[in-house]
Amino acid sequence: MKICKAIRCTALVLTMLCFGCAGPLKPSDKTAVVRAGEWGKIYRGGYVELASVSGTDARWRIRSELEVTPGILNGVYYVYLCTQGDKHCTSVAQAPISFKAQAGHSYQVHAREQVNGSNRFWVWIVDEADGQVVGGTSPGTDQEKG
């Protein structure tokens, strides 16, 4: 009896500790996933976060990935600069981007400085399935896609 209680208690604690540890979000036949990520190198770099994306719950906070309803998405993405590793990160730019998300697809947000030390960035979104730019402005392009 005591062993059964101990096993159930251990299982409950492990479940609570692992809540949200299921790994990266996966798109479904009714959803898409938008992911942010790192930019730059060791000397000067940081990451991009999702600040807001249309069609999502307004109560969520800045995130690295988000499950979304397919269709035309209007998003704002923050670019952070980090110093001393990931200890001190500051938002240095933001980029509004629209793109069409398809069910079953995952999208990655990228950023790159236009001129080192300028805090001016190219920010663009790539379909992870085929590597195509679906929104924003990538290095070497003059116009925004969408």
User: What is the average pLDDT value for the chain, to the nearest integer?
Assistant: 77
Residue 15 lies in a domain: no
Res 118: pLDDT: 80
Answer whether residue 122 is part of any domain.
Answer: yes
Instruction: Compare 13 and 96 and report the one with higher pLDDT.
Output: 96
Is 68 within a domain?
Answer: yes
In this structure, is residue 28 part of a structural domain?
yes
| Domain residue limits at 73 | 24-136
Bridge partners, 106 (sequence order): 33
Q: Is residue 96 part of a domain?
A: yes
The total number of residues written for the chain in this structure: 146
Of 42, 22, 24, whose CA–CA distance to 33 is shortest? 24
E strands of 1-146, at which residues?
32-35, 38-40, 45-53, 65-68, 71-83, 88-101, 106-113, 121-127, 133-136
CA 52 from centre of chain: 11
Residue 14: enclosing H or E segment and its boundaries? helix 2-18
Give the pLDDT confidence of 43-88 residue by residue, as tens digits.
568 888 888 888 665 555 567 888 899 999 998 888 888 876 666 7
pLDDT band for 132, please (50, 70, 90 cuts): very high
Is residue 132 assigned to a domain?
yes
**Per-residue model confidence (pLDDT) at position 130:** 94
**What percentage of the chain reaches a pLDDT higher than 70?**
69
Instruction: Note whether residue 11 is domain-resident.
Output: no
Q: What's the CA gap between 58 and 80, in Å, rounded? A: 21
Residue 134's pLDDT is what? Answer: 96
Please report whether residue 35 resides in a domain: yes
Report which listed range, 55-64, 121-130, 135-144, is most confident.
Answer: 121-130
Predicted confidence (pLDDT) at residue 5 exceeds the cutoff of 60: no
Lowest mean pLDDT among 14-23, 28-37, 50-59, 127-136: 14-23
Structural domains counted in the chain: 1
Residue that is written with structure tokens 């979104």 in the block: 125
